[in-house]
Amino acid sequence: MKTLPLEAAGLNLEEPPSASILDEQEKIARICLYRSQNVGPVTYRNLLKRYKTGQQALEALPHLAARGGLRAPLKLYPKEKVHQELEAHAKLGAHLIVDGDPFYPKALRDLHEAPPVLSLQGDPSHFKHPGIAIVGARNCSLNGKKIAFQLAENLGKEGYPIISGLAKGIDGQAHQAALDTGTIAVIAGGIDKIYPTEHTALFAQIRERGLLVAESIIGTEPQSTLFPKRNRLISGLSQGVIVIEAAFQSGSLITARYAAEQNRDVFVVPGSPMDPRYRGSNALIRNGAALISNARDVLETLKAPYYQKMREAAVEQDQDYLIETPEPDTDTLDKLSQEILDHLTTAPILLDELLRACSYSSSIVLSALLELDLAGKITRHPGNKIST
């Protein structure tokens, strides 16, 4: 099957991309690589860094997993399933993209935990401009709805696409206000699954005038475990996150935490300490989030010269921890793998701590971690943390 060009897949383009589209077979190989057993975003990028192409990395997977200690054969994602995904996207008027495609969002490229494969439906030109996320309570007050609408409308007029999760309440108001200026909806299920059903009409409007983004495989039903993953995408695609009416233990607080880990700014609309819908919001302010009351407060921060310098410095200091050296010999890796497992417990620690504790160079430690990851013996956590 031939993959459709973005235009034929229903994506509205204002101008041709500057980057070339990946070769069809390489794109399919990269999708298979990412969908294969025990391959997460970090491992995926490490594999591409070492083997240069998805096809070569895919061929190396079984050997690496076996050497890491996986007893059963590693399950590779069948190419036939990728063809089925591509066909389903084409029928829907959507498109499946991978990191390396010209329309993969630039905002995600500096995040080592960003998903390498995404479904898009709508206008990807919204990725060209820095976006602002607006999130908050589903069961929000009338004042909360009004504030969300005004912030989205005014920030949209300043050229910022508004990003949210298409949930009821604050999310829906933000999307509705930004339909004319640009909005991006990140959904938890597959690109073909409308949730909540009350937003069927809004879903269709965003598809026609904005952009829908999904990480889950097409056909996946929304479920509770997928919403935190969606939240990290909302913050990752944004330049800053605005929180309105967040209760304790709400999804909005998860998005704010991801934003902080991703070097994004967190802005909070304050509220009465007597209102439980603001307890999480007010806690964020106590912990250092910026208090705002209107769009001007956000714009003054985003456009400040010191902010731009801090942003550049943060990007420069961010380390990918990608493997750039040839793989070491088997005996060395065997000894190091055991040393790594001796250092780790079920409590996550920073990768930096592990690298300092090991008696081998960082590049060799990363090679051993790659094999242990593929064997399912270690677990990756947000914030560049690792555990057993």
Spans of all domains in the chain: 24-117, 124-316, 330-387
CA separation (Å) from 88 to 20, 222, 229, 351, 362? Answer: 24, 18, 23, 39, 42
Q: Which residue has the tokens 């209102």?
A: 275
CB atoms within 10 A of CB 77: 17
DSSP 293-308: SSHHHHHHHHT-HHHH
Please name which of 134, 168, 384 lies closest in space to residue 237, comparing C-alpha atoms.
134
Fold that domain 330-387 belongs to in CATH: Arc Repressor Mutant, subunit A (1.10.10)
CA separation (Å) from 346 to 68, 130, 349, 381? Answer: 19, 37, 9, 11
pTM higher than 0.75 for the full model? yes
pLDDT tens, position by position, for the chain (388 residues)? 334 444 434 444 444 444 456 889 999 999 999 999 999 999 999 999 999 999 999 999 999 999 899 989 999 999 999 999 999 999 999 999 999 888 899 999 888 789 999 999 999 999 999 999 999 999 999 999 999 999 999 999 999 999 999 999 999 999 999 999 999 999 999 999 999 999 999 999 999 999 999 999 999 999 999 999 999 999 999 999 999 999 888 899 999 999 999 999 999 999 988 888 899 999 999 999 999 999 999 999 887 654 454 444 444 434 444 444 456 677 788 888 999 999 999 999 999 999 999 988 888 898 899 999 999 999 998 878 999 9
- Which residues does 225 contact at the CB level (< 8 Å), separation at least 6? none
CB atoms within 10 A of CB 233: 28
Please name which of 247, 248, 249, 283 lies closest in space to residue 266, comparing C-alpha atoms.
283
Fold that domain 124-316 belongs to in CATH: Rossmann fold (3.40.50)
DSSP 103-123: TS-GGGTT-TTS-SEEEEEE-
